[in-house]
Amino acid sequence: MPYITVGKENSGDIHLYYEDHGAGKPVVLIHGFPLSGASWEKQTKALVDAGHRVVTYDRRGFGKSDRPASGYNYATFAEDLHKLVREIDLHDVTLVGFSMGGGEVARYLGTYGSAGVRQAVFISAIPPFLLKTPDNPAGVEKAVFDDFQQAILADRPLFLTQFFQTFYNADVLRGKLVSEQAIQLSWNVGAGASPIGTYHCVTSWLTDFRKDLARINVPTLVIHGDADRICPLHVTGKLTHEAVKGSRLVVVEGGPHGLNWTHADIVNRALLEFLGPGK
pLDDT value of residue 220: 98
CATH number, domain at 112?
A: 3.40.50.1820
pLDDT band at 1 (very low <50, low <70, confident <90, very high): low
Q: Answer yes or no: 257 catalytic.
A: yes
Share of the chain above pLDDT 70, in %: 100
121-156 per-position pLDDT tens digit: 999 999 999 999 999 999 999 999 999 999 999 999
List the one residue out of 123, 261, 69 whose CA is nearest residue 182: 261
pLDDT band at 278 (very low <50, low <70, confident <90, very high): confident
Continuous segment of H or E residues that includes residue 70? none
Per-residue pLDDT averaged across 83-88, rounded?
97
Domain that holds residue 181: 3-275
237-246 per-position pLDDT tens digit: 999 999 999 9
| 3-class state of residue 223 by DSSP | strand
C-alpha–C-alpha distance, residues 125 and 33, integer Å: 11
Domain count, the chain: 1
pTM of the model: 0.98
Angle at 201 between CA 199 and CA 203, to 5 degrees: 90
For residue 279, pLDDT over 80 is answered with no
pLDDT value of residue 105: 98
| Beta strands at 12-21 and 53-57: parallel, antiparallel or unpaired | antiparallel
- Measured in whole angstroms, the distance separating CA 232 from the mean position of its chain's CA atoms is 15
Q: Answer yes or no: 186 catalytic.
A: no
Per-residue pLDDT averaged across 88-111, rounded?
98
Inter-CA distances, 208 with 130, 136, 202, 204, Å: 8, 10, 13, 9
Catalytic residue among 58, 228, 241, 263: 228
40-82 per-position pLDDT tens digit: 999 999 999 999 999 999 999 999 999 999 999 999 999 999 9
Mean pLDDT (the chain) is 97
Catalytic residue among 224, 241, 257, 263: 257
Catalytic residue among 39, 99, 124, 247: 99
